Chain A
Amino acid sequence: MASLNNGVESNVTQTQPLWLLAEITYRCPLHCAFCYNPTDYADYTKNELGTDEWIKVLRDARKLGALQLGISGGEPLLRDDIEDIVVEANHLGYYSNLITSGVGLTEKRIDAFKSGGLDHIQLSMHDITEEISNFVTDTSTFKLKQKVAAMIKDRGYPMVLNVVIHRYNIGHIKEILEMAEALGADYVELANTQYYGWSLINRNQLMPTKEQIDEAEKITNEFREYIGNKMKIFFVVPDYYAERPKKCMNGWGEVFMIVTANGDVLPCHSARVLPDMNFPNVTNNDLKEIWYDSTAFNKYRGDDWMKEPCRSCSEKENDLGGCRCQAFLLSGDAEAADPICTKSPHRHLIDQALEDSKNERLQAQPIIFRTDKNSKEIIQGEHKERLKDFKALP
């Protein structure tokens, strides 16, 4: 629709939002140091969509071809209507996934999810030690997570464990994989921290060394050989040690759609940081128009928006210039090449970050945990010293 389009040409594509991520609430009982949620999330905790509005989102997205549904947050279980949403998702033919910390998953609720047709549950785990698990989440949730893992397995769900990897747990990869095996995990995602939101402001404290990453990958490969098909292990390679950026979200507005707690629709998890973007909201726009015609979803579709060195780059189809958010957060220019790329004129910013992560003085700075209090302080302009290198944080 032209009114949404603001003169940006709609690309004629075969894109379909195959993956729908419902970030159903930003409220969370955990305070993870590596959370990718925006540091100013406290501004978005109000005006959460209601159950009926979510059901409408599910229906509309399904019509557009959405198949994989992630119910995420924050902690989705803080809402008491996940059961209703699961039933509707199943009815519509989604393959649905609850992405949870496990906090709030009771016997009663998991039974309701099972009978409602939820397809799988992805549980976050943090370490094999109670000390580190509780430290990085700033909570006492280690024992509870073990209990929840057993409950998930007991209900016959595929056990999908997600472990965010950082300096505090990267030395325990083998033990983490052994724990996953003991819990009967079917899938394990070892997700090296990507630096957005809270993890970005805690980057010096979280980033492992190149040697640690290489060792972790080696151990993972050895474990894969040992375990075979019984447990699928994904090792998500961290950007900063790569020479080329990732094809972020498989391309802007190509297959991925995120609806946030208040109904804003985003092409990627952290798109909110980008400047001069007006993300449409499901309460006053049609989802189909948002996907196909909105300025926001067309802005970085394809490669028309590219500048040099991307525009004439022979590899541009491989990564589509990388991540717009990373480009903006680090260089201040959302249309620049992702600074991860060694062809980027901003690559020195990544190299500097790698150097800084070895600096003991910077490492020793306290972690700023993802709490409402810290978010409000950041919105009010505090923590300036920690934020000064990043363009998009207030």
Chain B
Amino acid sequence: MKIEHGDVYKISPHHRFQWEEAQNCYVILFPEGMVKLNPSAGEILNLVDGKNTVLDVITSLKNKFKDAGDIDKDIISMFEFALEKAWITKD
């Protein structure tokens, strides 16, 4: 599925996304599994809340990380990856 700027995604049902103090990272939890997320994946999924559009996420992260340069593509590919893994679903 193609990711569009206007799409709104949320964390999939039966999945839980949370910050883990002990691991110092965001994790995603689901039946029979868990994934420790790298910092950028964690920052992106933290904004996937069923309200923000993909564009909102991009804008927000560009404001937060001003020196990061052109991160649009990376964010879109993270959305694609998370969708393929079924961590997120279209709202």
Contacts and interface: CB of A to CB of B under 8 A. Distances in A.
Interface of A: 16, 18, 63-65, 67-68, 93, 95, 97, 119-120, 122, 156-158, 160, 186-187, 189, 229, 234
Nearest to B86: A229
Contact of A68 (B14, B18, B34): B34
A160 B22 CA distance: 28
Contacts of A18: 34
B31 interface: yes
Contact of A120 (B14, B22, B27, B34): B14
Given A16-B23, A65-B23, A229-B86, A160 B32 contact: yes
Closest 5 CB pairs of A and B: A65-B22, A95-B29, A158-B14, A120-B31, A160-B31
B14 A119 contact: yes
Q: Which of B14, B16, B20, B27 has the most CB of A within 10 A?
A: B14
A158 B13 CA distance: 8
Given A95-B29, A119-B14, A64 B22 contact: yes
Given A119-B14, A158-B14, A97 B31 contact: yes
A35 B84 CA distance: 36
Contacts of B27: 67
A186 B23 contact: no
Contacts of B23: 16, 65
A35 B50 CA distance: 43
Contacts of A119: 14, 16, 29, 31
Contacts of A97: 31
Contacts of B86: 229
Nearest to A162: B32
A65 B18 CA distance: 13
Contacts of B33: 68
A356 to B, nearest CB: 33
Contacts of B20: 65, 67
Given A158-B14, A186-B14, A67 B29 contact: yes
Given A16-B23, A67-B34, A160-B32, 7 more contacts: A16-B22, A65-B22, A67-B20, A95-B29, A158-B31, A160-B31, A187-B31
B31 A186 contact: yes
Contacts of B34: 18, 67-68, 95
Nearest to A68: B34
Interface string B25-38: 00101111110000
